[in-house]
Amino acid sequence: MIDMSFKTINGTGIGTFNFNIVDPKNQSTGDQYWFEEKKPGSYIERIQFQTALSFDCDPSTELCGWPLGVYKISAQICNGVCGSHHPHTSIYDSAASSFNMTKKA
């Protein structure tokens, strides 16, 4: 589960949350989620993702699972589509963090 919180003073337009996770083997995965325009205020967004399978694993040919170790995560909140070059598209904010996977379930 990834928890993101943000505060907007003037509100937002329709936009996206973008996140990327880099595993201890330097492989990455990520996704993008749309959100409706927000009024001024504080918000918490929770994104659930599956850690049971490896990023690029074929369970029919190998034992899959995320490797133990430190994962780097980065996130952006954008007006419009993160990374787009369309007019009025911009990055509202970005952040980075990490987490440590210490035990397989």
Report the distance separating Cα 78 and Cα 4, nearest Å.
13
Closest alpha carbon to 33 in 52, 20, 50, 51: 20
The pLDDT, as a whole number, for residue 12 is 92
CATH of the domain at 50: 2.60.40
Amino acid found at 14: I
The pLDDT, as a whole number, for residue 14 is 94
Question: Tell me: the pLDDT tens digits for 3-49?
Answer: 888 899 999 999 999 989 999 989 888 889 999 999 999 999 888 76
The pLDDT, as a whole number, for residue 61 is 60
Other beta carbons within 10 angstroms of residue 74's beta carbon come to: 16
Domains of the chain: total: 1
Domain of residue 46: give its range: 2-101
Question: Tell me: the pLDDT tens digits for 50-74?
Answer: 665 555 666 666 556 778 899 999 9
Confidence category of residue 78, pLDDT binned at 50, 70, 90: very high
